[in-house]
Amino acid sequence: MNQAANNQTRIFLKFPNRDEASKFAAEIFYIAYTKFENLLFGTATGQTPVKIYEYFIEMMETVAGSENDLTFRQLDNYISPGAKKGELPFYSYQTELENSVWKVPHLDAYVPYEWMNPEAEVGRYKTIIEATNKWASYFIQLLGIGDKDGHIAFNMPGDAFDSTVHVVDLNQETIEANANKFFGGDTTKVPKKAITSGIADILEANAIVMAGFGKAKADIMHRSFFGEVTTDVPASALQTHDGILFVILDEESASVIAEKEGESVFANPEDIDIWEIL
Ligand code: F6R
């Protein structure tokens, strides 16, 4: 990884809507790809990144003849005991990922295997994290955030900031949300565990792009970046990140920050030279 001294840079950006915000976020990853020879792109799943990936794929289609190399590494995944490779439940992260970012052609992608024995998978993924960090000349991580509790990846309130890859017992709220979404409320059919990169793994990134849209994320965005640094709010760990942090918001998700901290917190996107900042 880039060992150059990384002073802390925090850039808050507010866009009129999710579409414009996603386009800007995609541009950060695209410019990182054009600038760095070996780019490690840490991916997240969920609703937030969907449009970011769409724009990113569009931008990547315009690159011709770049010598630069790109590797994707997914943050986390469910664990579905009994699931077989190729026969995964339809809510699987694998499906979600294949439908989005993995469409970028000719690139390597690492993802925690849902069907593996969890403890063996923790060991395998730790090795992948070490190897890809070593390979990368720059590591940029995309993050979403849990609406209420500020979780990042599957790092939940109370998890230590120095945690690395580990297995997580999903909380009842997540289990019920998945059951309602996919199985008519039947909680026996959904995964109860997940495997996740730890907060320490995330903080290794040279640059972090945190994106979050909609009213439901407004309060937690404020608590995470302007509140106390505490394991009660996992995303508050990002305040300790020694590197570059972009926080990409829409009007709604930025509303509490704007109200409590004032509009001057937000940079004008037109003034941001992404190439220079990375
Ligand atoms: C996804 C992940 C989660 C989500 C978070 C927000 O890999 O690790 O932490 O980023 O749950 O989800 P959305 O984007 O669906 O609101």
What pLDDT score was predicted for residue 178? 76
Q: Which protein residue's CA is at the shortest distance from atom 9 of ligand 1?
A: 153
How far is it, in rounded angstroms, from Cα 172 to Cα 163? 22
Nearest atom within ligand 1 for CA of residue 217: 16
Closest-lying ligand 1 atom to the alpha carbon of residue 155: 9
46 lines ligand 1 (CB under 6 A): yes
Q: Ligand 1, residue 43: give the atom nearest the CA.
A: 7
Domains of the chain by range and CATH? 9-49+63-213+225-277 (3.40.50.1360)
Non-local CB neighbours of 102 within 8 Å, separated by 6+ positions: 72, 109
pLDDT less than 50: residues of the chain: 1-5
The closest alpha carbon to 199, from 45, 76, 70, belongs to 76
Nearest residue to 42 via CA among 201, 186, 176, 248: 201
- Tell me, what's the pLDDT at 271? 97
Nearest to 111 by CA among 148, 74, 165, 70: 74
Q: For residue range 189-217, what is the model confidence (pLDDT) as tens digits? A: 788 889 999 999 999 999 999 999 999 99
pLDDT tens digit string along 98-137?
777 777 766 778 988 888 888 899 999 999 999 999 999 9
